[in-house]
Amino acid sequence: MACKFFVKLVFTDSASTTYATAAADGSAVAVEIGVFSIEPKPEFSGEDREYLGGVFEAANVIRNGFEIECFPFSSYQAVNGDSIPQNSNTLLYIQQLFASKKYKWIALPTAPKIAPPRWTDASGFNYVTALLPMRVEKVGIDISLNKENDLIGSAEEVTISLKAREI
């Protein structure tokens, strides 16, 4: 089975807050990975407060986040059958980039690869499409081994959780 959707992760040492500048920096490394879904995960950030007079004020600053459900990382198979490797080595490479590069971005993939439809449909999902590209930080990479995966046999199922670096 070939993967339909992709997302680009860009790792760089450039402190630029502009994606185009950061991605063009000589230290930038881009990795496009096959995904099943990219879910926006906004959360309220800050502390709730209760004042002496009994007035309650809830946190009202939103920090955007993402949960990326990846196409399985296999020991032997590529995402589209032969030319786009997404194997255990790719997963280790991504983890090393998260650890070694100061700044990380999530962005739409390079054509002809496509992101899941709602990430490109500005008329129906204008709030969603406005989220990318975004500078992010890794919250976690959850890896589980599924030995009975119907798609490609034994594979590592990976979910990457990210949060916006800036509010």
The predicted-structure confidence for 8-61, as pLDDT tens digits, reads as follows 999 999 999 999 999 999 999 999 998 999 999 998 888 888 888 888 888 888
What does the alpha-carbon distance between residue 108 and residue 119 come to, in Å, rounded to a whole number? 8
Beta strand 56-57 pairing with 134-146 = unpaired
Find residue 161's DSSP bridge partners. 67, 140
Q: What amino acid occupies position 165?
A: R
Q: What is the pLDDT of residues 52-101, one digit of tens each?
A: 888 888 888 889 999 999 887 776 555 555 555 577 778 888 999 999 99
